[in-house]
Structure formats: C-alpha cells, structure tokens
C-alpha cells in the first residue's frame, strides 16, 4: 500500500458534552427515559458533534459504484450492464437515493470507481476508474494493492464537512463480494451469509454460496487482516465505503450506515480501527439474511426494520428523519422550569 492514512487517530466523542446533553434530557417536560432511543440518539450525537444541541441538517451522501468479476459465475439475477445504467439513473435523479436525497436537502455525489460500461460523458458522475470491475475472486485477488489503495482514497475524499455522512453502493455481484468478505472476517460458512441479493431463487443462493467457498479456498485468508480480505474478495465500492467510514471518524463526522453491504464495510473498518465504532450508527436491518450476523458481530442494534434490501444508501436516508426528530425534541422541548411544570 502506498500510504497508511487510515492509521491516523480517530477522534474520541466528547464525554463532557454528552453528559451535558444527558442532563438536559433530565430537565425536559417528560418522564425520564420516556422518549426511549430518541433520547439516546440525541445524547450520542451531541458527544460526537461536540455540541450540546446536536443537528442533522447538512448531510453528505456518496454512492460508490463498481462492477465485480465474480458476476461472470452467474451469482446475480441481473446483468452487469445494470450497474452502469443505475449510475446514470442516480446522476439524473431517478433512483430511490436520488429522490430521498432531494427530500432531505442532502448533497448527493455519484462516484464510479470502475464499471464495465462507460459513464465518462454522464453529467453528475465523478469518474475515478480503477478498472472495468474487479477480477473474479475465484481465479485471482479481486484487486491489486494499488486499486485497493485508490478505492480507500476515493472514500476518504468523499467525506466532507457535514453533520452526517451516508455511504451508498451499487454493483451487480456486490452481495456476493460482501458475503465473501463477511465469511472471512467472521469465520462463518457461506451457507450462513449468502442470500438472494437482487432476487436469486434457492438454487441461485446455493450456487452463490459455492462460488464464495471457491474464493475462500483459493485465497486462504484469516480474520485478522481486513485489508487483505478486502483486496482478495471485496469490491471497489466496498473498499471505498471502508475508506469513507475511517475518514469520517478521523474528521469527527457521524456516519449513518445503510444495509448489508455497507455493514460489511463497517465490519472491515472496525476490525482495522476498533475505536471507530462509536461513529457508526446503524440505520436499518436488511432483509438480506446475512445482515443479522454482521450486526451481531458489530454489537449493533439498527434503528429500523422495514424489510428493505435495495442498497444505494436508501435505508440510511429513510432513517435520517429519526435522527432529526431526536435532535429537534432535544433542542426545542421546554424544560420544567421554562414551562412552569411541576417535576
């Protein structure tokens, strides 16, 4: 690897500010703890943002796209051309995350890290092309060291000065890559982490598990080298998410993590830098079956369970409203003294 910026210190939440926010919660006109997780969210955000009145107004959403060589093994119900087509759809405002970003007033960046199709002429796409997709991990490492380094750097560059960062992904075959990474990091068999992805039937899921098994056997990698796992089994967009999460922790930007693929990236990032964990808020429980195992490994309890499995950052975008409500309740409710209400 050409640099090791990810080894720079991750910021620590401000415990004094969090304690101040907790004291404010005790004075608001409600029974203590009656707002449940909304109180916990407000207090946690206060500590992360280092201000006793947290806010989630300025939101950065980055959707990373890349194709996967492993898709040649028939692990997806859709052709790889869909990745390029969806990148165009993101940029033109027609995808779910595009609609949600507009509704939230969020800044949306679409970053193509390497699709089979060309998007160089598509307005609104940042092209950082690392190759025409990754290599087939059943035959070779998915990425070179240089490609992995560049993907991590692309994720780092996408994290700006905001109240909240959301990372999304797009890539036909990426549930296979994510499941393979999770299998290596969790030391679990593919049968427990392979799921339907974009709509595979039972036979398709079994084939996906067999392909992942072939990749794991070829590379013979253990759980204690997350960057090596990413290079051998991951994808450009998964590695970019890892880089973005690490950079967010270094810069003091809270992260709202999306579904299965994004959570696998979070798992890799936390394995690399365990002190990153407080910066990651998990938005929803995906319908992809392996997500529950990844969340368990992260000791994470997501905010929502809506049966979503779209990706793109869409589940995280839906959960933003909960964070905003937590903040406005914390900031604008009257205290007992202000309302002249007996405690």
- Looking at the annotation, which residues are catalytic? 312
State the Cα–Cα distance between residues 246 and 151, nearest whole angstrom: 13
From residue 129, give the alpha-carbon distance in Å to each of 64, 72, 152, 278: 11, 20, 13, 32
Beta-carbon contacts of residue 258 (< 8 Å; ≥ 6 apart): 166, 167, 168, 169, 283, 284, 311, 312, 313, 314, 315, 316
Identify which of 233, 254, 259 has the alpha carbon closest to the alpha carbon of residue 244: 254
Identify which of 285, 313, 317, 278 has the alpha carbon closest to the alpha carbon of residue 45: 278
Beta-carbon contacts of residue 200 (< 8 Å; ≥ 6 apart): 75, 76, 77, 207, 208
Beta bridge partners of 62: 109, 167
């Amino acid at each position: 690897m050409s640099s090791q910026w990810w080894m720079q210190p991750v910021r620590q939440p401000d415990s004094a500010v969090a304690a101040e926010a907790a004291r404010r919660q005790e004075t608001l006109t409600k029974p203590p703890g009656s707002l449940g997780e909304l109180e916990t969210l407000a207090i946690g955000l206060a500590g992360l943002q280092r201000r006793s009145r947290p806010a989630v107004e300025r939101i950065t959403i980055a959707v990373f796209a890349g194709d996967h060589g492993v898709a040649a093994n028939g692990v997806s119900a859709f052709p790889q051309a869909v990745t390029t087509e969806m990148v165009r759809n993101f940029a033109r405002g027609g995808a779910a995350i595009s609609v949600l970003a507009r509704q939230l007033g969020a800044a949306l960046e679409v970053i193509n890290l390497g699709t089979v199709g060309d998007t160089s002429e598509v307005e609104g796409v940042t092209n950082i092309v690392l190759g025409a997709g990754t290599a087939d991990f059943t035959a070779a490492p998915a990425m070179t060291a240089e490609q992995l380094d560049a993907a991590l750097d692309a994720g780092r560059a996408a994290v700006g000065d905001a109240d909240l960062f959301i990372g999304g992904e797009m890539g036909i075959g990426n549930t296979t890559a994510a499941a393979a990474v999770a299998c290596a990091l969790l030391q679990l068999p593919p049968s427990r982490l392979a799921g339907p992805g974009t709509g595979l039937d039972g036979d398709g899921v079994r084939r996906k598990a067999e392909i992942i098994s072939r990749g794991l056997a070829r590379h013979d990698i253990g759980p204690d080298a997350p960057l090596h796992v990413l290079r051998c089994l991951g994808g450009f967009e998964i590695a970019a998410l890892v880089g973005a999460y690490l950079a967010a922790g270094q810069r003091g930007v809270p992260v709202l993590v999306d579904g299965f693929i994004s959570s696998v990236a979070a798992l890799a990032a936390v394995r690399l830098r365990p002190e990153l964990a407080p910066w990651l808020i998990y938005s929803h429980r995906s319908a992809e079956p392996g997500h529950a195992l990844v969340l368990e490994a992260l000791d994470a309890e997501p905010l929502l369970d809506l049966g979503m499995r779209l990706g793109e950052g869409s589940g995280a975008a839906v959960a933003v409203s909960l964070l905003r409500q937590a903040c406005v309740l914390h900031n604008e409710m009257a205290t007992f003294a202000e309302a002249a209400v007996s405690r």
